[in-house]
Amino acid sequence: MKKIFSLLALCALAQASHAQTPIKAGTLQLGGAVNYTTSSEEITVKTGSISNTTKYTTNSLTLNPYLGLFVANNLALGVNFSYTAANSYSNVGTTTTTTPTTRLRVGPFVQYYKMVTDQFGLVGTLAGGYENDFQPGIGAQGTNITTDGAYVGLTPSIVFFPIPKLSFGASIGSLAYTHLTVKPDKAADGYGDTISSFGAGFGLSQLLFSGTFYFGR
């Protein structure tokens, strides 16, 4: 019986050792992530016998290409680029108002893979850099609003390798900090409202799907 248990233990150790094959230093990764969300809300305001209902709808698309190099086993350094285009619509009766917004982020990242098996793992990504948001004014007299500054975010995700050189991943949010300055183009000289925020944003609206190819693996 002891021999059987010893054999099983050796098999388990061998499997665990095989299951945690690292992504070796020198491997180059090239990938991208995408997110699309849509949301809607209706708000009804009643004044006496008159009710007015406003419907708000927001559609958002995010594209996030990135490039990284593994400087040690399972540890990568790289740079990523993120672009988000969103449109918000408000409908009151037959009148529709559209408010577009764009967001650009670019900066370095550090990423660590914890492989559970040869095909499945957990990934932590710490990224930061420059952020620029832009919202054009509505109508001929509208005010364009530019917001720029710095961001830092820690994102956990899962990753699956159908083959060693290709992975698919998913994440549902991050722990993030931003420090941004709001600059309306028609504000008085020197005006700048600074906004700092820190918090966790997780949920299906934050869902990102990614695909990555590994050169040299």
Residue 49 falls inside a structural domain:
yes
What integer pLDDT is reported at residue 116 of this predicted model? 94
What integer pLDDT is reported at residue 197 of this predicted model? 92
Residue 199 falls inside a structural domain:
yes
Q: Are 126 and 118 in contact (CB under 8 A)?
A: no
Instruction: Give the CATH number, domain containing residue 66.
Output: 2.40.160
Residue 2 falls inside a structural domain:
no
| Residue type at 1 in one-letter notation | M
Q: Which range of residues forms the domain containing residue 186?
A: 30-215
DSSP 97: E
Residue 55 falls inside a structural domain:
yes
Q: What is the mean pLDDT of each run of 10 residues along the chain (217 residues)?
A: 41 49 94 90 72 80 96 97 90 73 96 94 96 81 85 96 96 93 72 84 86 95
pTM, to two decimals: 0.78
Q: Which two tokens stand for residue 116?
A: 């559970």
Neighbours of 27 (CB within 10 A): 19
Query: H or E stretch including 39?
Result: strand 28-47
Residue 13 falls inside a structural domain:
no
What integer pLDDT is reported at residue 3 of this predicted model? 43
Sorted by sequence, the CB contacts under 8 Å of residue 176 that are 6+ apart come out as 151, 152, 153, 154, 197, 198, 199, 200, 201
First to last CA, the chain: 41
Q: Are 129 and 108 in contact (CB under 8 A)?
A: yes
Residue 25 falls inside a structural domain:
no
Count: domains in the chain: 1
CB-side exposure of 190: number of CA atoms within 13 Å?
A: 0
